[in-house]
Structure 1
Amino acid sequence: MAFWKRLLVGCAAALSLGMAAHASTGGIAWDKAPVNTTNTASLQNGAKLFVNYCLNCHSAAFMRYNRLTDIGITEAQIKDNLLFSTQKVGDTMKSAIDPHQAKAWFGANPPDLTVIARSRSGHGGTGADYLYTFLRSFYRDPNRPTGWNNLAFPNVGMPNPLWQLQGEQKPQFDTQEEHGQEVHVFKGWEQVSPGTMTQLQFDQNVGDLV
């Protein structure tokens, strides 16, 4: 079952390219991801979320759909719930987006998530911790091309893929003085509009995904 978690955690490396690792350089502290590789229901939910939300833009070209049987998803369930149009169970996981469109919209082709073999970890925590924080740290920013920004990855080139689940939130800051200069210190989120999930439900689902 751990193979799927490794694939999902690979998202962290893909998304962390160019990130500011320290809060002082524009990022925020990473939250601890509630990863549980022994919970089959959690793994299956993570697979469903990955296919429905990540695979729209990111391929996992070295991963075949039928490998999901390793976490207890039957081939019939894969066919009924996880395949698009003419795809087959033995096919590799390719993104739905056209590469030329992706480059036009986001400025670059979204990376294949199985090419990124290892997640980025560091003083802030594991790659899963980073991804858990990243996916919960989007906010609206009219100055960005996609209309979105992210506190864990400032000026990220991708929109919030989970905004309908999470709703919209706004970062709140305190102003403090450090070394004779004013700095803005992140203190939390203000919910602007609700999503289809409560905050607790959303956090649990992102935990399943990472």
Structure 2
Amino acid sequence: MKKVLFSLIAALGFVAGAHASESSMVWDKAPVDVTNQASLQNGAKLFVNYCLSCHSAAFMRFNRLTDIGLTEQQIKDNLLFTTDKIGETMQAAINPKEAKEWFGANPPDLTVIARSRAGSGGSGADYLYTFLRTFYRDDTKPTGWNNLAFPSVGMPHVMWQLQGERKAVFEQRESHGQTEEVFKGWEEISPGTMTPQQYDQAVGDLVNYLQWMGEPAQNTRIRIGVWVLLFLAGFTFIAWRLNAAYWKDVK
């Protein structure tokens, strides 16, 4: 029931959000460390509970989570819903045809979202980390939520129970003869189940998982790359000494 509920909410949000423009704010640095298995495992749990309801990860299979230290039994017990199988790809609960019929568009696939959102403000992980931490209540919006990193986004704040409710405080400033609103800070409406530090850590784990999911083989690639460079360095030294020995008597 929870999965379907989040599916309907987030699908509605992305219809309007697809046409919104992003802000030019500086993105916060995401605490990405794809070698931290505990962080990746917690991020995978958050992804399944808060993202997979509406967003597919069509290029990621559940059994690939064994790469971050989970056993297949742990995946079955904690990350699979009743209709999912360990070898299947991560598909959203919402029916794509129904989502398009009801809301006009489908929520985007998130498999490579962290790699695709890089821009002048920072990496894709930085954008996601900032985006997921800057929601605020805005009664003028259809969903009741707005976002500093993506003004007028249609997506609601699906993790508001963890973070709590707050509103953004703005002040009017004159700039080049025009009045603009400048963000001043946050005002809490109601606390969440997590402290601000715990919520930031949870979002960091989720973004870390999204970063890893965009290229699950990156740790293997880096490890092999280090050994290749060491081999080339050793071979270069040996070749240099062989070359010196071969030409030493040639005048």
> TM-score band, normalised by the shorter chain?
0.7 to 0.9
Which position in structure 2 is the counterpart of 1:204?
A: 201
Whether the 8 Å CA contact 2:60–2:90 is kept in 1: the answer is yes
Give the one of 128, 145, 151 matched to 1:131: 128
- The 3 A distance-change label for structure 1 pair 121 and 18 is farther
SS of the residue corresponding to residue 118 of structure 1 reads helix
Query: Could you tell me which residue of structure 2 aligns to residue 76 of structure 1?
Result: 73
TM-superposed CA distance for 1:74, in Å, is: 0.8
1:184 partnered with 2:193: no
SS of aligned partner of 1:183: strand
Asked whether the equivalents of residues 75 and 86 of structure 2 are also in contact (C-alpha less than 8 Å), the reply is: yes
Aligned equivalent of 1:8: none
Is 2:145 aligned against 1:148? Answer: yes
What value does the CA root-mean-square deviation take over the aligned residues? 2.1
Within 5 A, what are the aligned runs for 1:19-38? Answer: 19-22=21-24, 28-38=25-35
> Could you say if the C-alpha distance between residues 140 and 103 of structure 1 is closer, same or farther in structure 2, counting changes exceeding 3 Å?
farther
Tell me which of 94, 110, 123 is aligned to 1:97: 94
Quote the sequence identity (%): 72
1:156: Cα distance to partner?
Answer: 1.2
Supply the distance in 2 between the matched residues of 1:203 and 1:48 (Cα, whole angstroms).
16
SS at match of 1:32: coil
Measured in 2, the distance between the counterparts of 1:194 and 1:105 equals 33
User: Given residue 196 of structure 2, which amino acid in structure 1 is its aligned partner?
Assistant: Q
Name the counterpart of 2:105.
Answer: 108
**What is the Cα deviation at residue 105 of structure 1?**
5.9
SS across alignment from 1:102: helix
Whole-Å separation in 2 of the counterparts to 1:109 and 1:88: 23
Counterpart amino acid of residue 197 in structure 2: L
Give the Cα–Cα distance (whole angstroms) in 1 for the partners of residues 112 and 119 of structure 2.
20
Please tell me whether residue 120 in structure 1 is matched to residue 117 in structure 2: yes
Q: Which structure dedicates a bigger proportion of its chain to helix?
A: 2
* 1:138 CA drift (Å): 1.2
Residue 112 of structure 1: CA displacement? 1.4
Q: Based on CA coordinates, which of the two structures has the bigger radius of gyration?
A: 2
Please report how far the alpha carbon of residue 48 of structure 1 lies from its aligned counterpart in structure 2 after TM superposition. Answer: 0.8
Q: What does residue 43 of structure 2 align with?
A: 46
Aligned length: 191
TM-score (norm 2): 0.70
Select the residue among 174, 190, 208 that pairs with 1:193: 190
CA contact (8 A) 2:58 2:111 kept: yes
Could you tell me how far apart the structure 1 residues matched to 2:55 and 2:94 are?
8
Q: Give, in whole Å, the separation in 2 of the partners of 1:148 and 1:108.
A: 19
Tell me: CA distance 1:164–1:107, structure 2 relative to 1, closer, same or farther (3 Å): farther
